[in-house]
Structure 1
Amino acid sequence: MGEFVRLEVDSGIGTIRLERPPVNAINAQVTAELAEAAKEASERSDVRAVILYGGEKTFCGGADVKEMASRSYVEMRRFGTGLQTTMAEVAAIPKPTVAAITGYALGGGLELALTADRRVAGDNVKVGQPEILLGIIPGAGGTQRLARLIGPAKAKDLIYTGRFADAREALSLGLVDEVVGADDVYAAALAWASKFAEGPAVALAHAKAAIDGGLDIDLAGGLKLETHLFTALWATEDQKNGMRSFVENGPGKATFEGK
């Protein structure tokens, strides 16, 4: 368990919780601890879905600007590379992930939320990539994941202006998938994570790998990847349990019972 980031596991759900008051700013230690939590969540068999959470007040206000301002080019190059690597490790967790966004998700905070498979936001949240106002650009995946999620034109609007979007706009942009009351964010994320955790773990991991991997290659390559991952499931209990339930119960009534 880290000083600022910890993994809490309960009933198959792993919650990666940031706790560095007042806004969970990301520094070198947070980056390292986040990578450790992502690795642990990936490897633990009792974790079947993951929630990214910054607490009731705020998700993550971004990178620690005071710390960054004093860094040299060489130091920042090292930190930036490490932060990119950490975000990639969170994105690559081979289990469904849900970001529970409260308060602010800005800069690196929004980039962390973008690594999740689904994003649930409170109705009072503010999200954005304000790096341009500091004379820099997003450096932890914002220029890439944001453009892939909402399209280049909308991503350029947010990145070029550095403005904040409220919950309603974030939903309309497709930046978040659901907006709930400010006090209900974690519960809503938990509901989704619990639903995912009840499903076939290996099949879900393959689905995630096919979708995410396919986005980085052309259609022909993506279809080959899909075929490989699709047929590989015939060597798993997920496939046997799922199809047995379909045969026994019929379409629309099959339930997955394997774990």
Structure 2
Amino acid sequence: MTYLKVEREEEIVQITINRQDKLNAMNLDVMNEFISLLDDLEKDSSKVIIITGDGPKAFSAGADIEYMSSIGPAEAEKYALCGHEVLNRIEKLEKPVIAAVNGYALGGGCELALSCDIRFASPNAQLGQPEVTLGICPGWGGTQRLLRIIGPARAKDLIFSGRKILAEEAFSMGLINKIFPSESLLAETRAYAKAISKNSSFAIGISKMLVNRGTDTNLDTGLKLEIYSWAVCFSTKDREERMRKFIAKK
């Protein structure tokens, strides 16, 4: 890996975008490394994934504008397809993914955070979808995930204005789950990830799928899928062992 630093601590994997000189903007090389890494993470023994950016200035400033300035519609479509592949795979990964947002998370950087399950931020975080200021619309899922997380009215506000919002406003919108001091953001995120890792990976994966599917289906279908998934959980040794221990302890 050239642009992604990967650190493993027990069952937690921290991925750091390592392009500090470019504010951790994601070019095709970064995205190809993400795809290769996600292939491994789908099969390894890790339980929780953390994504962050190198340095205090940026989580990710988004897509590579220098590259985009010189391409046409066909190349732009390929670039967007690659971005969608990365973010869709993060969203569909059976393991929980936490974004630790330090500094700028703009455009594709905000969209990367949106694809994660949980978003923590430092007070200096700035989030936004400024694409319209460059003559384009969000292209890595921002128009779809943002409205599902904060609602269509607030999504339109951020997308139409292209404005950046600070962590406090992002928190008030529900875009950020919690704000931690800059110096303890990663430590707090790892502590949270460690707590999650003690729970049933199978049950968490099933629950993530149910919540994700629930945003795109009607209530009756979602409830039927939940009943089926609940029943499947009772087929696992993990469930049997956890319940046995609970009863013994009680």
Q: TM-score, normalised by structure 1?
A: 0.92
Q: Which digits, 9 at most, give the CA deviation of each residue in 1:132-173, with x for residues without a partner?
A: 101111111111111100111011110100000001101101
Alignment of 1:239-250 (within 5 A): 239-250=239-250
Cα offset, 1:241, TM superposition = 1.8
The corresponding residue for 2:43 is 43
- Within 2, Cα distance between the matches of 1:66 and 1:82? 17
What stretches of structure 1 move > 3 A for 4+ residues in a row? none
Q: Which digits, 9 at most, give the CA deviation of each residue in 1:184-218, with x for residues without a partner?
A: 11111111111111111111111111111221222
Which has the higher mean CA deviation after the structures are superposed, 123-132 or 223-232?
223-232
The question of 1:20 aligning with 2:12 is answered no
Q: Contact 2:19–2:54 (CA<8 Å) still a contact in 1?
A: no
The corresponding residue for 1:185 is 185
Q: Contact 1:114–1:145 (CA<8 Å) still a contact in 2?
A: yes
* Structure 2 letter corresponding to 1:18: I
The corresponding residue for 1:198 is 198
Cα offset, 1:53, TM superposition = 1.0
Cα offset, 1:227, TM superposition = 1.6
* Structure 1 letter corresponding to 2:20: P
3-state SS in 2 of match to 1:124: coil
- Within 2, Cα distance between the matches of 1:169 and 1:4? 30
The corresponding residue for 1:53 is 52
- Within 1, Cα distance between the matches of 2:104 and 2:145? 18
Q: Contact 2:121–2:185 (CA<8 Å) still a contact in 1?
A: yes
Cα offset, 1:39, TM superposition = 2.3
* Structure 2 letter corresponding to 1:51: I
* Equivalent residues, number: 248
The corresponding residue for 2:78 is 78
The corresponding residue for 1:130 is 130
* Structure 2 letter corresponding to 1:73: P
3-state SS in 1 of match to 2:59: coil
Root-mean-square deviation (CA, aligned residues, Å) is 1.2
Q: Contact 2:20–2:54 (CA<8 Å) still a contact in 1?
A: no
Q: Contact 1:214–1:225 (CA<8 Å) still a contact in 2?
A: no
Cα offset, 1:242, TM superposition = 2.1
- Within 1, Cα distance between the matches of 2:2 and 2:108? 19
Q: Which digits, 9 at most, give the CA deviation of each residue in 1:48-67, with x for residues without a partner?
A: 10101112322000100010
Q: Which digits, 9 at most, give the CA deviation of each residue in 1:95-150, with x for residues without a partner?
A: 11111010110000011011111111001111100001011111111111111001
- Within 1, Cα distance between the matches of 2:185 and 2:55? 8
Cα offset, 1:6, TM superposition = 3.7
Cα offset, 1:226, TM superposition = 1.1
Q: TM-score, normalised by structure 2?
A: 0.96
- Within 2, Cα distance between the matches of 1:216 and 1:36? 28
3-state SS in 2 of match to 1:63: coil
The question of 1:8 aligning with 2:11 is answered no
- Within 2, Cα distance between the matches of 1:142 and 1:56? 24
The corresponding residue for 1:253 is none
Q: Contact 1:201–1:238 (CA<8 Å) still a contact in 2?
A: no
Structure 2, unpaired ranges of 5+: none
The question of 1:118 aligning with 2:105 is answered no
The corresponding residue for 1:254 is none
The corresponding residue for 1:88 is 88
3-state SS in 1 of match to 2:66: helix
* Structure 2 letter corresponding to 1:4: Y
The question of 1:160 aligning with 2:124 is answered no
Structure 1, unpaired ranges of 5+: 251-259
